[in-house]
Chain A
């Protein structure tokens, strides 16, 4: 069948060339249109609900907002987990769906349930479904600088000019805004005057809402004409607001301005942005829609911002400080460079081994063609070009040419040994040499594809990360196989010449050397066995020493420093402290270009942090200006600086890393221990104890829990008697209190191009002093009453936030691990916690975090790898038709692993998922090498050689292809070894494993396999063992 393919190709040579050209053209076209991102889309089908409950405490948010919603949401089918967080004034509910679920269907379900639960929630709740974004969505961040604008003007510019302009771009899910001040029409009641007038803030709000509308009344006829009647009563200015009548008493009226001041104020702030230690800033974040092409979004955003630039106020500029496309282009460039270097190396190797430039060109042509074919397939299957898929291609470089190498090498060899007199037709010669190796090449490629099959079966994050790797490899290999059997023979027929070749220099050196060593090991096999056994022992020892992690951390080029302060800190102090941190860092660490810090919640509530939590986005200068080209060192320097700022706790991460780990477990950290149970205080206590226990485990870098963090509450225990006697109800009094501090909304003023809220809110003096607040008078029964008279005021600690999973409360302890492998750390931590912390009944623990992924991946691989091995075995058996020989080739596999593990150990890299992919690739190459050798031995045996002869001549004859494939595969990966752009951290361990493994595997294949084959390769008696009877034979297998 394969021969038929080769024959067909050779009979239609021009057609094949035409198809190849078409393929190249469409490949280039596909490449240009391929969406490019840094990472594959790793997000699950996730729907987020963000509800704002101004002024409400975490426990109230939980009971009045989260709990009723959860009751509804838990009924949605196909959901995996329902997580909620109740914080001050915000409820954040996340529903993870099964991967197969359509996101729009899921959102539809959630919004139906939300509507159903709306009646059971308090009236002043706002918010709803969050935009369709993923952890990779923060593609572009900027601040607004210059022009001497006030914080409020900058925010207005962002909210009403820039945001609407960017939101309409395709692929943009939303533009998140942070910092600055949101302008309001503020009505600040004079509490005493209000109370004396017998009015409450709710009366004011009601009066304002009733006096703010434009409307149309219909049409009125004037003669033959009709006029449209419009009544204008909407509030437009502060004086409109001030002249609203709030009370009528006989003929006298009380105007709003008699009992309140009207002025431009600002919304209660839940967060702020600071920049470079200089002051507050306003920040915008462009969120990309799930599945959109980040690169093109950033390009569009930049173009739109350029369009906007002339219309911005004088001197105002938009200063980007994070641009995903930079990371993407760096990452892609890393891989591209590696690809190009690999191609050059491969060509050089081909020339050295084949000593034939034309042949080298034919083989090298396969590289771009297979790559283009892969891009075409990626486009067709909707994959994006990212670190992982391009990394897959980089791995495949060494393997792509394998098939072509074998075909061309055989052709060159045949041409070289063509007897001078034989005048076979040119094309026929090519056909014979190609079809001769077609079967082993095809089964070899099939085997390599099979080894990558388990990766396709991975689930969860690792599945999303590594399926693209496996797919690109499979695409590339499949493409190269087909082309090797069609395009390569055709090209060979055009390009190769009949000129006889000398053996290239390299082979003239290597072959005799190899022959001597082979003879020696055939004579004294036990020395060789001892070396192999020693290698295995060393590898086993090294394996125990090599650390294990899930994924190496990709260097994104930026640092995020998360800081935590006292939970009860107020926004002003938090901002001050952030500025102090920024100043100190900029002074101490000259590598830092700029720092943008955000504290508290963003406008959309996608990342609602407390006022004590800040994310400092650190932009670094170009690497060339660093004192030491090492990011870890810079982080250490930053840590040192933070020691001069005690009381502010830092933690370090990176933009994508932070969002990814947040999405995965809803928590940040390598290890996340969840304690489930009903009572907050018990949970906090357990969390504290588990935290201290884990801290003692070696390797624990940062262990923390927010669950035993408390913040201070000023608790007003309402005195039912006093409040009843005053004629107020508790809820009236509570509404009044909220209006005093947080403010209540009283409608909107529609101004040209923007909508501004009207807020009734107490004097800022009240917010500055509990004593003043206790003295606030409220109208009650004709007189006035003070807060302090109707409630007992106490200062009490309370929870900062309440987290729930599937409607059960839990406390979280997070740990970051440093200088140690994660799995070992988790095992130690688990046993330490089991012995030291006793759980009360009704409480249980769950261990999650990064290590959870690692465990899931290894479980899944433990299942799939044996299946893949079995399939490879079947392929081997079908090819060789011998169980014995198949086992023999399999015996080659552990030998390949020796080099891989030792290389990992020597280089100090961890055993991680990329490293194990390296082992997978290695497995394939080792089996392929073995197959090439064994199938040739079999040919020789079939030609009547004795086993000993077959082994000797076969090994020597196959030295070149075996060395070539191994060398090409290894050198193809060498550029990855030296790359240091983003993404190289992931590819490096893989390259190390493959290169190390190839060395050991090739050496041992070339030496050990012949020895073993001679001993076990064929059943005794099935072939001749004596030399004599064969002397007359003229059949040549050469």
Chain B
């Protein structure tokens, strides 16, 4: 749908362009002249895809492959067990933190546990009493409620202590453990730092998959959609996963994300340059080197090789990168266009007009 719109727009631009464009007559050049001027030609190729523009992106970790290690209780870090970048297994200790909150939570847990065991004992006695018929059946329900409530207390206290954390034996300190196996990619605090409860202490990457986030300037925003293919350095393709439509006020751009294919060597934070291209839909799209396109009287032209020289041909450039231009209309594949000696051809074309 969008492609059709672009093509339609391009057609309007092209037709209006040719309507106002001056007609440049053909330039007759002998073989000697072509050779002496060093004019080289290149055959126009059929474009399988439209090269739209180039994007710059920053490599990042895939967000769902990241686990954050949280320190549940406020306190001061007394020991770090691993260095950033180390590979660790699930449950491996990361840091030891001295915490008053932890100490009080532990004592509360002990209280709750005591209460729970007291409630359990009471429930057992009550059961015996009921079996013996000494107590009404209804009193049993009461005792069961007490047990459940005490167990809930214990569970809550336990969960506060955190799944990965455990007392290290010292009173008032606890150890933060890795929730899953992976690579410690970042450590937010150092020994001696005091941290707040439930704050992130480190992040773990659990797989090697990488994404790349592209900055999409406003001028390109309408032309990119999820599913578009970008070509990364080395000719490797990646698909756009999502495109935001919020403009960052300072950078004046939105962002789009693509997943890097497995085996593509890149590092978190690295900058990548990619070409956005789209499969050609119309059959007459052709591709020339970008340098073959020159402006004559404000309109894009190429110099098409004819039998006795060159013919300045107005073209509609639908996409252009530093290397290649994709052209619709005016040029067929298999034709040759001049790629060097363009200044001489251009001045000859201008002379014809005067």
Contact = CB atoms under 8 A, between A and B. Distances in A.
A580 B295 CA distance: 24
Contacts of A576: 38, 340
B219 interface: yes
Contacts of B347: 565-566, 647
A580 B33 CA distance: 11
Given A644-B30, A647-B37, A727 B250 contact: yes
A312 interface: no
Contact of B251 (A566, A584, A780): A780
A196 B213 CA distance: 14
Interface string B253-286: 1000000000000000001000000000000000
Given A712-B295, A775-B56, A786-B217, A769 B322 contact: yes
B54 A771 contact: yes
Nearest to A728: B250
Contacts of A726: 250-252
Interface in A764-813: 765, 768-769, 771-772, 775, 777, 780-786, 788-790, 795
B251 A789 contact: yes
Interface in B5-58: 27, 29-30, 32-33, 36-38, 53-54, 56
B342 to A, nearest CB: 8
B250 A781 contact: yes
B74 interface: no
B234 interface: no
B304 to A, nearest CB: 17
A889 B215 CA distance: 98
Nearest to B297: A797
A833 interface: no
A328 to B, nearest CB: 37
Nearest to A787: B217
B196 interface: no
A794 B219 CA distance: 14
Nearest to B350: A566
Contacts of A784: 215, 251
A5 interface: no
B108 to A, nearest CB: 39
A777 B215 CA distance: 10
Interface string A10-24: 000000000000000
Contacts of B87: none
B37 A646 contact: yes
Interface string A638-660: 00000011111000000000000
Nearest to A648: B344
Nearest to A565: B343
A577 B343 contact: yes
A863 interface: no
Contact of A646 (B33, B320, B321): B33
A568 B347 CA distance: 10
A576 B342 CA distance: 12
Contact of B252 (A577, A646, A722): A722
A89 interface: no
B53 to A, nearest CB: 7
Given A569-B343, A577-B344, A771-B53, A786 B38 contact: no
Given A193-B271, A644-B30, A644-B33, A785 B343 contact: no
Contacts of A789: 217-219, 251-253
B230 interface: no
A250 to B, nearest CB: 12
A589 interface: no
Contacts of B321: 771
Nearest to B320: A771
A647 B345 contact: yes
Interface string A191-208: 011001000000000000
Contact of B29 (A566, A584, A646): A646
B103 interface: no
A515 B347 CA distance: 74
B271 A192 contact: yes
A570 B40 CA distance: 17
A727 B251 CA distance: 10
Given A192-B56, A566-B347, A647-B348, A785 B37 contact: no
B248 interface: yes
Contacts of B215: 777, 784, 786
B290 A788 contact: no
A580 B38 contact: yes
A726 B217 CA distance: 13
Contacts of A768: 322
A267 B29 CA distance: 37
Contacts of A196: 271
B346 interface: yes
B249 interface: yes
B219 A788 contact: yes
Nearest to B344: A647
A782 B295 contact: no
A573 interface: yes
B253 A573 contact: no
A580 B343 CA distance: 14
A820 B228 CA distance: 70
A725 interface: yes
A502 to B, nearest CB: 75
Given A566-B344, A645-B33, A785 B53 contact: no
Nearest to A193: B271
Contacts of B219: 788-789
B322 A771 contact: yes
B195 to A, nearest CB: 18
Contact of B56 (A573, A712, A725, A777): A777
Nearest to B269: A196
Nearest to A725: B249
Given A771-B53, A777-B56, A788-B219, A783 B29 contact: no
Contacts of B345: 647
A192 B347 CA distance: 38
Nearest to A581: B36
Contacts of A580: 36-38
A768 B345 CA distance: 20
A646 B348 CA distance: 7
A785 B250 contact: yes
Nearest to B342: A573
A1005 B51 CA distance: 92
A688 B53 CA distance: 40
A780 B320 CA distance: 27
A783 B250 contact: yes
A782 B219 CA distance: 22
Interface string B205-221: 00000000001011100
B276 to A, nearest CB: 12
A306 to B, nearest CB: 40
A725 B56 CA distance: 21
A566 B290 CA distance: 19
B250 A782 contact: yes
Contacts of A771: 53-54, 290, 320-322
Contacts of B252: 722, 725-726, 785-786, 789-790
B252 to A, nearest CB: 4
Interface string B320-354: 11100000000000000000111111111010001
A645 B36 contact: yes
A79 B216 CA distance: 59
A425 B65 CA distance: 136
Contacts of B290: 769, 771
Interface of B: 27, 29-30, 32-33, 36-38, 53-54, 56, 215, 217-219, 248-253, 271, 290, 295, 298, 320-322, 340-348, 350, 354
The 10 closest A-B pairs by CB, nearest first: A647-B344, A769-B322, A781-B250, A566-B343, A789-B252, A569-B343, A566-B347, A783-B251, A192-B271, A647-B347
5 contacts: A584-B36, A646-B37, A648-B344, A789-B218, A790-B252
Given A645-B37, A647-B346, A725-B249, 7 more contacts: A573-B343, A645-B344, A646-B344, A712-B295, A785-B252, A785-B253, A789-B218
